[in-house]
Protein backbone atom coordinates (compact mmCIF):
# COMPACT_ATOMS: atom_id res chain seq x y z
CA UNK A 1 0.00 0.00 0.00
CA UNK A 2 1.43 3.39 -1.05
CA UNK A 3 0.81 6.57 0.95
CA UNK A 4 0.42 9.95 -0.72
CA UNK A 5 3.56 12.05 -0.45
CA UNK A 6 1.85 14.64 1.77
CA UNK A 7 0.77 11.94 4.22
CA UNK A 8 4.30 10.51 4.25
CA UNK A 9 5.72 13.92 5.04
CA UNK A 10 3.15 14.49 7.80
CA UNK A 11 3.96 11.12 9.38
CA UNK A 12 7.70 11.83 9.14
CA UNK A 13 7.30 15.23 10.81
CA UNK A 14 5.10 13.75 13.54
CA UNK A 15 7.62 10.99 14.19
CA UNK A 16 10.50 13.46 14.33
CA UNK A 17 8.59 15.69 16.77
CA UNK A 18 7.69 12.75 19.01
CA UNK A 19 11.33 11.63 19.00
CA UNK A 20 12.44 15.10 20.08
CA UNK A 21 9.89 15.08 22.94
CA UNK A 22 11.04 11.65 24.14
CA UNK A 23 14.68 12.79 24.00
CA UNK A 24 13.89 15.88 26.07
CA UNK A 25 12.03 13.83 28.68
CA UNK A 26 14.80 11.27 28.84
CA UNK A 27 17.38 13.98 29.49
CA UNK A 28 15.19 16.28 31.59
CA UNK A 29 17.54 18.15 33.95
CA UNK A 30 14.56 18.97 36.18
CA UNK A 31 14.16 15.32 37.14
CA UNK A 32 17.86 15.13 38.08
CA UNK A 33 17.57 18.37 40.05
CA UNK A 34 14.54 17.07 41.95
CA UNK A 35 16.42 13.89 42.85
CA UNK A 36 19.40 15.81 44.22
CA UNK A 37 17.25 18.29 46.16
CA UNK A 38 15.32 15.41 47.74
CA UNK A 39 18.49 13.67 48.87
CA UNK A 40 19.95 16.92 50.17
CA UNK A 41 16.80 17.74 52.17
CA UNK A 42 16.81 14.27 53.73
CA UNK A 43 20.50 14.29 54.67
CA UNK A 44 19.40 15.77 58.00
CA UNK A 45 18.01 12.29 58.73
CA UNK A 46 21.01 10.23 57.62
CA UNK A 47 21.32 9.43 61.32
CA UNK A 48 18.23 7.22 60.99
CA UNK A 49 19.96 4.73 58.71
CA UNK A 50 20.53 1.40 60.43
CA UNK A 51 18.87 -0.90 62.95
CA UNK A 52 16.97 0.23 66.03
CA UNK A 53 15.25 -1.27 69.05
CA UNK A 54 12.26 0.63 70.36
CA UNK A 55 10.11 0.76 73.46
CA UNK A 56 6.62 2.19 73.05
CA UNK A 57 4.46 3.65 75.82
CA UNK A 58 0.86 4.85 75.48
CA UNK A 59 1.34 6.83 78.71
CA UNK A 60 4.64 8.48 79.57
CA UNK A 61 6.39 6.85 82.53
CA UNK A 62 3.95 3.92 82.69
CA UNK A 63 4.56 0.33 81.61
CA UNK A 64 0.83 -0.30 81.16
CA UNK A 65 0.30 -1.24 77.53
CA UNK A 66 4.00 -0.81 76.74
CA UNK A 67 5.61 -2.86 73.98
CA UNK A 68 8.93 -3.52 72.30
CA UNK A 69 9.58 -3.34 68.56
CA UNK A 70 12.46 -3.35 66.13
CA UNK A 71 13.03 -1.11 63.14
CA UNK A 72 15.37 -1.02 60.17
CA UNK A 73 15.91 2.15 58.15
CA UNK A 74 17.55 2.44 54.73
CA UNK A 75 17.63 4.69 51.70
CA UNK A 76 15.08 3.84 48.99
CA UNK A 77 16.14 5.45 45.73
CA UNK A 78 13.65 4.31 43.11
CA UNK A 79 12.29 6.61 40.37
CA UNK A 80 8.82 6.80 41.93
CA UNK A 81 9.79 6.07 45.52
CA UNK A 82 12.66 8.21 46.75
CA UNK A 83 13.37 8.69 50.44
CA UNK A 84 14.20 6.92 53.69
CA UNK A 85 12.28 3.69 54.25
CA UNK A 86 11.45 2.70 57.84
CA UNK A 87 10.48 -1.00 58.23
CA UNK A 88 9.00 -1.92 61.61
CA UNK A 89 8.75 -5.36 63.20
CA UNK A 90 6.20 -6.00 66.00
CA UNK A 91 4.97 -2.38 65.98
CA UNK A 92 1.60 -1.52 67.53
CA UNK A 93 0.69 1.29 65.13
CA UNK A 94 2.79 1.27 61.94
CA UNK A 95 4.18 -1.46 59.69
CA UNK A 96 6.43 0.79 57.66
CA UNK A 97 6.91 4.37 56.56
CA UNK A 98 8.61 6.31 53.78
CA UNK A 99 10.00 9.78 54.49
CA UNK A 100 10.45 11.92 51.37
CA UNK A 101 10.61 15.60 50.42
CA UNK A 102 8.24 17.61 48.22
CA UNK A 103 10.47 20.16 46.51
CA UNK A 104 7.49 22.06 45.04
CA UNK A 105 5.76 22.65 48.39
CA UNK A 106 8.97 22.64 50.46
CA UNK A 107 7.48 20.07 52.81
CA UNK A 108 8.56 16.72 54.19
CA UNK A 109 6.13 13.90 53.40
CA UNK A 110 5.68 10.77 55.49
CA UNK A 111 3.56 7.96 54.02
CA UNK A 112 2.76 5.35 56.65
CA UNK A 113 1.52 1.79 56.15
CA UNK A 114 -0.80 1.07 59.08
CA UNK A 115 -1.49 -2.30 60.70
CA UNK A 116 -4.71 -2.78 58.71
CA UNK A 117 -2.75 -2.21 55.47
CA UNK A 118 -4.31 1.20 54.86
CA UNK A 119 -2.04 4.20 54.49
CA UNK A 120 -1.85 7.64 56.05
CA UNK A 121 0.06 10.64 54.70
CA UNK A 122 1.63 13.28 56.92
CA UNK A 123 3.20 16.56 55.80
CA UNK A 124 5.26 19.07 57.72
CA UNK A 125 8.48 20.97 58.32
CA UNK A 126 11.67 20.64 60.27
CA UNK A 127 11.84 22.66 63.48
CA UNK A 128 15.52 22.48 64.52
CA UNK A 129 15.94 18.78 65.41
CA UNK A 130 12.22 17.98 65.41
CA UNK A 131 10.24 17.00 62.35
CA UNK A 132 6.57 17.82 62.94
CA UNK A 133 4.06 16.38 60.48
CA UNK A 134 0.26 16.35 60.35
CA UNK A 135 -2.25 14.34 58.36
CA UNK A 136 -5.43 15.40 56.63
CA UNK A 137 -8.77 14.62 58.31
CA UNK A 138 -9.43 10.86 58.13
CA UNK A 139 -12.71 8.90 57.99
CA UNK A 140 -13.07 9.17 61.77
CA UNK A 141 -12.89 12.97 61.46
CA UNK A 142 -9.51 13.00 63.21
CA UNK A 143 -6.19 14.65 62.42
CA UNK A 144 -3.01 12.80 63.32
CA UNK A 145 0.36 14.29 64.19
CA UNK A 146 3.78 12.64 64.26
CA UNK A 147 6.83 14.31 65.81
CA UNK A 148 10.22 12.77 65.10
CA UNK A 149 13.00 14.02 67.37
CA UNK A 150 16.67 13.22 66.82
CA UNK A 151 18.23 13.48 70.29
CA UNK A 152 21.69 12.27 69.28
CA UNK A 153 23.37 9.74 66.99
CA UNK A 154 21.98 6.81 68.98
CA UNK A 155 18.67 8.04 70.33
CA UNK A 156 15.47 8.98 68.47
CA UNK A 157 11.90 9.43 69.67
CA UNK A 158 8.62 9.29 67.79
CA UNK A 159 5.56 10.91 69.36
CA UNK A 160 2.13 10.02 67.94
CA UNK A 161 -0.85 12.27 68.68
CA UNK A 162 -4.34 12.92 67.34
CA UNK A 163 -7.24 15.33 67.72
CA UNK A 164 -10.84 15.56 66.54
CA UNK A 165 -11.30 17.86 63.58
CA UNK A 166 -13.26 20.36 65.65
CA UNK A 167 -10.68 20.60 68.46
CA UNK A 168 -7.44 22.57 68.46
CA UNK A 169 -5.35 20.50 70.87
CA UNK A 170 -3.77 17.08 70.36
CA UNK A 171 -3.83 14.16 72.80
CA UNK A 172 -1.10 11.58 73.12
CA UNK A 173 -1.54 8.21 71.43
CA UNK A 174 1.91 6.77 72.18
CA UNK A 175 5.60 7.59 72.19
CA UNK A 176 8.37 5.29 71.04
CA UNK A 177 11.94 5.69 72.18
CA UNK A 178 14.47 4.15 69.78
CA UNK A 179 18.01 3.15 70.70
CA UNK A 180 20.49 2.36 67.92
CA UNK A 181 21.13 -1.33 67.50
CA UNK A 182 24.67 -2.19 66.51
CA UNK A 183 27.28 0.09 64.98
CA UNK A 184 26.90 3.75 64.09
CA UNK A 185 25.72 4.30 60.54
CA UNK A 186 25.32 7.15 58.07
CA UNK A 187 26.06 10.15 60.27
CA UNK A 188 26.79 13.28 58.26
CA UNK A 189 30.10 14.85 59.10
CA UNK A 190 31.42 11.80 60.96
CA UNK A 191 35.06 10.99 60.20
CA UNK A 192 35.37 8.00 57.93
CA UNK A 193 34.53 6.95 54.37
CA UNK A 194 31.69 8.85 52.73
CA UNK A 195 28.64 7.29 51.10
CA UNK A 196 28.86 8.29 47.42
CA UNK A 197 25.06 8.31 47.13
CA UNK A 198 23.94 10.43 50.10
CA UNK A 199 27.08 11.80 51.76
CA UNK A 200 26.54 9.84 54.99
CA UNK A 201 29.03 7.52 56.68
CA UNK A 202 29.99 4.73 54.30
CA UNK A 203 29.89 1.26 55.86
CA UNK A 204 29.43 -1.02 52.83
CA UNK A 205 32.01 -1.42 50.07
CA UNK A 206 30.97 -1.37 46.42
CA UNK A 207 33.18 -1.74 43.36
CA UNK A 208 33.12 -0.18 39.91
CA UNK A 209 35.79 -0.59 37.23
CA UNK A 210 38.17 -2.11 39.75
CA UNK A 211 37.88 0.76 42.24
CA UNK A 212 36.25 0.57 45.68
CA UNK A 213 33.69 3.09 46.94
CA UNK A 214 31.45 3.20 50.01
CA UNK A 215 27.69 3.40 50.62
CA UNK A 216 25.76 3.65 53.87
CA UNK A 217 23.00 1.04 53.43
CA UNK A 218 21.61 -1.65 51.14
CA UNK A 219 19.28 0.89 49.51
CA UNK A 220 22.25 3.00 48.46
CA UNK A 221 24.08 -0.13 47.33
CA UNK A 222 21.18 -0.97 45.00
CA UNK A 223 21.13 2.60 43.67
CA UNK A 224 24.89 2.45 43.02
CA UNK A 225 24.71 -0.92 41.27
CA UNK A 226 21.83 0.28 39.07
CA UNK A 227 23.72 3.34 37.82
CA UNK A 228 27.32 3.59 39.10
CA UNK A 229 28.36 6.16 36.49
CA UNK A 230 25.42 8.44 37.33
CA UNK A 231 25.98 8.12 41.09
CA UNK A 232 29.69 8.92 40.78
CA UNK A 233 28.95 11.89 38.53
CA UNK A 234 26.48 13.27 41.09
CA UNK A 235 29.00 12.66 43.87
CA UNK A 236 31.66 14.59 41.97
CA UNK A 237 29.26 17.51 41.42
CA UNK A 238 28.47 17.62 45.16
CA UNK A 239 32.16 17.65 46.07
CA UNK A 240 32.84 20.45 43.60
CA UNK A 241 29.90 22.46 44.95
CA UNK A 242 31.14 21.98 48.54
CA UNK A 243 34.63 23.07 47.52
CA UNK A 244 33.26 26.17 45.78
CA UNK A 245 31.45 27.24 48.95
CA UNK A 246 34.64 27.21 51.02
The tens-digit pLDDT sequence of the chain (246 residues) is 454 555 555 544 444 443 433 343 345 455 555 567 788 899 889 989 999 999 999 988 788 999 999 999 999 998 888 999 999 999 999 999 999 999 999 999 999 999 999 999 999 999 988 999 999 999 999 999 999 999 888 889 999 999 999 999 999 999 999 998 864 434 444 457 889 998 888 889 999 999 999 999 988 999 899 999 999 998 898 888 888 876
Q: Is residue 21 part of a domain?
A: no
- Count of positions (residues) in the chain: 246
Q: Which letter does DSSP use for residue 160 in this model?
A: E
Q: What is the CATH number of the domain that holds 81?
A: 2.40.128.20
- How many angstroms separate the CA atoms of 165 and 137, rounded? 7
pLDDT for the residue 4? 54
pTM: 0.75
Instruction: Provide the residue range defining the domain that includes 210.
Output: 185-245
Q: Considering its fold, how many domains does the chain have in total?
A: 2
Q: Is residue 152 part of a domain?
A: yes
From residue 39, how far is each of 67, 89, 187, 190 by CA, in Å?
A: 33, 26, 14, 18
pLDDT for the residue 25? 38
- Indicate the SS3 state at residue 231: helix
Sequence-distant (≥ 6) Cβ neighbours of residue 229 within 8 angstroms: 208
Residue among 36, 111, 109 at smallest CA distance from 77: 36
Q: Which of 136, 158, 181 is the last residue of a domain?
A: 181
Q: Which of 134, 161, 181 is the last residue of a domain?
A: 181
Amino acid sequence: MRFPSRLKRALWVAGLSLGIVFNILANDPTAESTKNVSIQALQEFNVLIGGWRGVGQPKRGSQTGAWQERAESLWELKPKSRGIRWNIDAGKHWKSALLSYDETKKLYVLVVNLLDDTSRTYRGKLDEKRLILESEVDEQKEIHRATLSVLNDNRVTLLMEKRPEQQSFFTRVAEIGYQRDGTRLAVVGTAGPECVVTGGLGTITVTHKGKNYYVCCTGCREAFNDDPEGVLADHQKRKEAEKAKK
